[in-house]
């Protein structure tokens, strides 16, 4: 569909010139219009589905990499990019050996820890004092 045709649909259905100007009601009208024309949303493909088909000895590391990536809200391509930056080798996760996956899992875990806000395990004001000061000694 051309950009002009799309904008014509936006105008005729919701009276806006850009999708950025749509409110929720307008979005619903546009989606209803596209559905009435036969459009069906594409199901999101699970990019991590290959893990279940991987060699049994690599599955735990692949699951770890998947979990860390999901917690950082990044995808498989991010993990592969991180591996390429570290090793200089452009390789899919499916083709990495045990050692490469182990290194990548560590890289991603350190990246995650670096990006997370640091939270003090003991937020009490006395946490900065040593044992002798806390007991009244010295």
pLDDT of residue 125: 55
In order along the chain (138 residues), what is the average pLDDT of each group of 10 residues?
A: 90 92 92 91 85 94 96 94 88 91 94 77 53 50
- Is residue 135 in a domain? no
Residue 78 lies in a domain: yes
Is residue 120 one of the residues assigned to a domain? no
The answer to whether residue 123 sits within a structural domain is no
* Torsional sign, CA 104, 107, 111, 112: positive
Q: Which of 100, 59, 98, 99 is nearest to 79 (CA)?
A: 100
User: Do 66 and 104 share a domain, yes or no?
Assistant: yes
Number of structural domains found in the chain: 2
User: Same structural domain for residues 110 and 58?
Assistant: yes
Residues 73 and 99 in one domain: yes
- Whether 23 and 55 share a structural domain: no
Same domain, 71 and 32: no
Identify whether residues 20 and 70 lie together within a single domain.
no
pLDDT at 89 (0 to 100): 81
In a domain, 132, yes or no: no
For 61-70, the CB contacts below 8 A with 24+ separation are 61/98, 61/101, 61/102, 61/105, 62/93, 62/101, 64/105, 64/109, 65/93, 65/101, 65/104, 65/105, 65/108, 68/105, 68/108, 68/109, 68/112, 69/108
Q: Are residues 7 and 64 in the same domain?
A: no
Evaluate whether residue 133 is within a structural domain: no
Q: pLDDT at position 71, please? A: 94
- Residues 105, 81 within the same domain: yes
Domain that holds residue 25: 3-36
């Amino acid at each position: 569909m051309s950009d002009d045709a799309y904008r014509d649909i936006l105008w005729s259905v919701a009276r806006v010139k850009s999708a950025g100007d749509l409110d929720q009601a307008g979005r619903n009208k546009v989606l209803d219009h596209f559905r009435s024309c036969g459009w069906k949303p594409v199901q999101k493909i699970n990019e991590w589905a290959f893990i279940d088909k991987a060699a049994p000895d690599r599955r735990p590391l692949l699951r770890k990499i998947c979990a860390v990536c999901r917690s950082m809200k990044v995808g498989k391509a991010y993990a592969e990019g991180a591996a390429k930056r570290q090793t200089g080798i452009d390789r899919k996760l499916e083709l990495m050996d045990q050692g490469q996956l182990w290194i990548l899992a560590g890289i991603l875990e350190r990246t995650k820890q670096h990006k997370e806000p640091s939270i003090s395990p003991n937020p009490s004001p006395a946490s900065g004092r040593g044992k002798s000061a806390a007991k009244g000694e010295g």
